[in-house]
Structure 1
Amino acid sequence: MSDVAPLVTLLGLEEHALKARTALQLAFVMVNDTRALVGYRQAALFVPGSGVVAVSGVSTVETNAPFALFLERVFRAELAGRRVSPSDHAEWADWLPQQPLFLALADADGARIATLLLVRDDPWDEAITALLSRLVQTYAYAWSALHRPPPWRQWRDRLNNWPRWKWGAVAAGLLVLLFPVHLSVLAPAEIVPKDPAVIRAPLDGVIDTVLVRPNQAVVAGQLLFTFDRTTISGKQEVAAKALDTAMAELDQATQQAFFDPKAKADWAVIKARVEERQAELAQLQEVMGRAEVKAPRDGVAVMDDPSEWIGRPVNVGERVLAVADPAQVEVEAWLAPADLIDLSPGGAVTVFLNTDPLAPVAASLGYVAFEATLQPDGLLAHRVRAAIAGGADPRIGLKGTARLDGNRVPLVYWLVRRPLAVVRQWLGR
């Protein structure tokens, strides 16, 4: 026999073993087809817990047969590392040849999963033993693959082998996940004046001068800004001339009324025209007075760049600035619709200002607007107002982030709330 032939036979046996679909087919290959690589008279396969499962030359093994019982005693003695009993030794010659070879099949952890016994009359040389050791490794791999437990059983076995400290860590983790925490959300926030006096344009026109600067302290009655009065003055002069003309006509009609009955009838019409011109002039004088806008109360001017307002046309009711008390401030936040949770008035609000994030400002929730409005950045959000608690007195205009606390929920819900919302939107339910 050439050196290549045993290797080809070995590869063929390995292929047969790996293609076996059941443990019975694999056992048949081990006890019968192995003869193609090495000659022997008898072969048997023993599996702990199942006994002798295959014997060469027979299709099934009768477990209660004398030969099967004898083989099981021999395998158990070899597995225990002791000699066979004297009675079995004396009986050996009746059943088997005198040259046995026990080949252990081990799994990946080194634990024995089966034993293959080959028996013949000639002694076993090292070359054949080396080939059989290589073949037995393939047999063991194929046997382990066919007897691999399902994944759930593997997980169960792993969990059963866990030490107590791991179970304690899992229990502690579950308790932590069940720990109640406040369901909270974050929203961009700003310190804004509370109940400011909003100064709006009292008429349609162009702003001429702005006499205050941002954050400037003002007192009640102080002039804030004025409108361009050129057009109003022109109209007022025209109205005054029209009134003088009407008054002259009225004087003339009054004199003629003493002599001409017809002139007396025209007098009433001219009198009405005079009153109309007087009312028009009075209205223009009132508008002229409203062209100067004054502060309604003490406070500070809250506005943007004054130069942006000079020469700017405005409409009636358009906001120009506000007069606010710097000591009366509150928190304004914008809560995104996706972050809207169940928030109750009086709930805790914590503001982390950008100027001092390590010194949070405590506040209590005033309200959350039901309807989302469009912000200056073009995004929809719900307006939130909160009253500042304690002695905190942050400056108007400071920005930061507000944390709004809702009801208490388990920590696990706090962690998975947003992912669950995304999954629910994705599923469409």
Structure 2
Amino acid sequence: MLNGKKIVLGVTGGIAAYKAATLCSKLVQKGADVHVIMTASATQFITELTLQTLTRNAVYTDTFDEREPAVVSHINLADMADLVLVAPATANVIAKMAHGMADDMLTTTLLATTAPVMIAPAMNVHMYDHPAVKHNMNLLAERGTLMIEPGEGLLACGYVGKGRLEEPETIVDVVERFFAQRDEVSWKRSEPALVEAFALGGAQEGIQESMQSGVSVQNTLLKGKKVVVTAGGTIERIDPVRYITNDSSGKMGFAIAAAARDLGADVKLVMGSTQAQPPENVQIIPVQSAQDMYEAVSQEWDGADIVIKAAAVADYRPKEVYMEKIKKKGDTLSLELVKNIDILETLGKRKTHQYLIGFAAETQSLEMYAREKLERKNCDLIVANDVTRSGAGFGTDTNAVHIYDRDGLVEELELMSKEDVAHRLLRIAAERIAGRN
């Protein structure tokens, strides 16, 4: 989502300015073209050279330092931006933005841009709670400025509370979601905005709590929908210390659950064996075996609107599960395996109103096997990927998929983050559900 996007990053003078180095690095790694503007105070915490080296672009600090005669620098930056991100945003710069001041390079550029503006406040907990700061953020929100709520914890000043700049990884995630969703945002600088909340775990309610001006903050695409997602691999016990499983990390299922949450859905995540951290603010139902997963999904099935089977379920299980550890006795050991219930096929037969999405991890004949699986299991969509392709197999943070329906290929998604794949998949599902209704 960030490949080729031009992001103007404003860095202001708080101790959190040191995080700008990591933020720049991660944005560039995602393919963004980052142009940094620093306030004079910010240069007291981090050097221009650091951010110039990380972005491979000139860093601006002085309105009158015109480096290219062919352009006016602050106008050029304002016009080129796909997004202006101010992180950290101090109480001082928030006040300037709210009241239209333009006394340095950053605030002059902010007044000149017509691009979306996103700010990540960072300050002392009492400053953040001050009525003047709240009033200024209200004004900005009414104009359509997007807010990334600060985190809570130990602040540099020694206080504990809200005011800590969100972590760069989270900010990048919010920026990615912004570009994924921007076409659906009713965003106009000239009128009060219906602001889409591209915000973060633990801070999603915080935006509404801090904005008392009646600004609507919402993700509505899946609002009111119940989404059930399965993730990870299943464990089929042999004895108390051994089992059969697979290489599924759960990352794709976790990305889908997080995306559904961000789009306003009530999410239930049925989680098997995983190697990643599950998303926050979704209800997790832990399971082990294929039978456990089937029973958990069945409990949620009748009330579900969308069911997405991203888990890698074991096809077979040991016929006999030993209650004690099997002792080594010879050169060979034979295990008799029996077939597990096919959860996706069983759900397909029971389907009434549910929108059912399956996954097909293949190593050859991708389209043939995927479309056959979709028909046989009565899915609405099937998401197929070639797990032998670099960057698209188990355990990676990226994926490349083909999405099929009964008529054939719906969309081919080239290699991208699993979060981006998840958002695109859910948008396709939401559009089709809306059309069906």
TM-score (structure 2 length as normaliser) = 0.17
Larger radius of gyration: 1
Which TM-score applies when normalising by structure 1?
0.17
Structure with larger RCO (C-alpha < 8 A, sep 6+): 1
